[in-house]
Copies of this chain bind each other. A is one copy, B any other.
Amino acid sequence: MEDDRPERTNRVETTRARRALLVETAITCFVDQGIARTGMRDIAKKAGVSVGNLYNHFPGRDDLIAEIAKIDAAGLSEVVAQIAECTDPQEAIDRFVKTYFAYCADPVSAVLTVEITSEALRNPAIEDLFSGNRAMLVETLAAAIAAQGQTKTPADVSAGLVLDTIEGFALRVGLTGKKPRKGETEALMSFVRHALTAEED
């Protein structure tokens, strides 16, 4: 039969799958033990693969870390793009806070953030991956704040402070692993909403 394709597995497909498996395994290891305490052997063993093969897929340890940082940055980038499309300023801000918080508060994301931040301190290439995202976050949020236009502080400064609040809170939630207390997320939104309100004096 023509349809009887070789049962032997497609090579490009299996190698892509294996590479993905290795990345996922590495993330798990980094989250569980920390980047610093994770060796190439740990990843290979957990993935059920030889060390040599691991090096067939990634030139070295730093490249593997950079790859994961890139994936993390790409995930964040998606969130930013998704948030951007909203017309009403107030609703845009609300959605921003809710969505960005949910993203950052995920335990895996939170732990990775700490680990990668530590890594970025000594690796400019990794830092660059995220500084772009940060700028985009500020830009997106500042636009909504400016459209609402109620405070006298520059919109990008306010946006930065809102991001700090969200990230700080999300990190606290994500690192401890316990869910936020009932109403705590609403408190965050109320907090931000008030913070962006103009004073009367």
A125 CB within 8 Å of chain B: no
Q: Which of B34, B37, B115, B169 contacts A164 (CB 8 A)?
A: B169
A147 CB within 8 Å of chain B: no
Q: Judging by beta carbons under 8 Å apart, are B191 and A199 in contact?
A: no
Q: Which of B154, B163, B168, B190 contacts A167 (CB 8 A)?
A: B168
| CA of A117 to CA of B188, assembled, Å | 23
The residues of B that contact A1 with a CB separation of less than 8 Å are none
20 A-B interface contacts by CB (under 8 A) = A34-B36, A34-B118, A34-B121, A114-B114, A115-B118, A117-B175, A118-B118, A121-B175, A151-B194, A153-B183, A157-B181, A161-B165, A164-B165, A164-B168, A164-B172, A165-B165, A165-B168, A191-B195, A194-B199, A195-B195
A158 CB within 8 Å of chain B: yes
Interface centre among A151, A160, A181, A188 (most CB of B within 10 A): A160
The residues of B that contact A154 with a CB separation of less than 8 Å are 187
Q: How many residues of A contact B (CB 8 A)?
A: 42
How many copies altogether?
A: 2
A197 CB within 8 Å of chain B: yes
Which A residues, 128 to 186, have Cβ-Cβ distances below 8 Å to chain B?
A: 151, 153-154, 157-158, 160-161, 163-165, 167-169, 171-172, 175, 181, 183-184
Quote the shortest CB–CB distance from A110 to chain B (angstroms): 10
Q: Which of B34, B195, B197, B199 contacts A192 (CB 8 A)?
A: B195
Which A residues, 8 to 45, have Cβ-Cβ distances below 8 Å to chain B?
A: 33-37
Q: Judging by beta carbons under 8 Å apart, are B188 and A161 in contact?
A: yes
The residues of B that contact A193 with a CB separation of less than 8 Å are 199
Quote the shortest CB–CB distance from A14 to chain B (angstroms): 34
The residues of B that contact A93 with a CB separation of less than 8 Å are none
A5 CB within 8 Å of chain B: no
A111 CB within 8 Å of chain B: yes
Which A residues, 87 to 124, have Cβ-Cβ distances below 8 Å to chain B?
A: 111, 114-115, 117-118, 121-122
